[in-house]
Chain A
């Protein structure tokens, strides 16, 4: 049973480009969460999704950031017109129920904006 898969592991983008981060939850998990981690910091909640629905996006910046979890395929975190301040590690977690029990995290995507 594969764990939470995130790709790419490392992503370099120039300022103004778009970044797309992908997350495939564990098999049987229908709840996906995205977190951002700055160096030496904890994980900051961004968005919580279920299939085809955004449940809570209170941690998402109002502009340039969007997330989706389609009926088929991985969850996507999209950052448009990236700026240097977007450089961070982005982690995805999945759980079988609404935070009943542990959430399993992927290895993260490290985004570097140059």
Chain B
């Protein structure tokens, strides 16, 4: 079954608001996490990553928070823009040799003007 999942399948926000997308994972051995953005008809695009020895990492307008105690990951998007509308996936690397990233189901972010 799914071990990486997101709390909400959809999120609707107004342009300019901050967005928070959540993800729960179940494998305590996972040591590397990535957020991907997928626009309609396109492949997933890397947004930001974080290793398990960190609890926060910031990029341009995005911040990823990692809470290993409760196995929770979040993506915060500041000043959300219409171009941010997409499906967002979290993915984990289970720190096992030869394994690939495991993806959750995704959250669809809709930004209205």
Residues of A participating in the B interface, judged by any CB pair closer than 8 Å: 4, 6, 33, 35, 41-45, 48, 55-56, 91, 93, 98-99, 101-108
Contact = CB atoms under 8 A, between A and B. Distances in A.
B74 interface: no
A43 B93 contact: no
B18 interface: no
B100 A91 contact: no
A103 B89 contact: no
B44 interface: yes
Interface residues of B, number: 22
Interface of B: 2, 32, 34, 36, 42-46, 49, 89, 93, 97-106
Contacts of A106: 43
B105 A99 contact: no
Contact of A48 (B36, B99, B106): B99
Given A42-B89, A99-B32, A102-B49, A91 B43 contact: yes
A67 B99 CA distance: 16
A48 B98 contact: yes
A103 B103 CA distance: 13
Given A42-B89, A91-B44, A98-B98, 19 more contacts: A33-B100, A33-B101, A42-B2, A42-B103, A42-B105, A43-B44, A43-B89, A45-B102, A45-B103, A48-B99, A93-B44, A93-B101, A102-B49, A103-B34, A103-B100, A104-B46, A105-B36, A107-B42, A108-B43
Contacts of A108: 42-43
Given A42-B103, A42-B104, A107-B43, A102 B97 contact: no
Contact of A98 (B2, B49, B97, B105): B97
Contact of A45 (B2, B46, B97, B101): B101
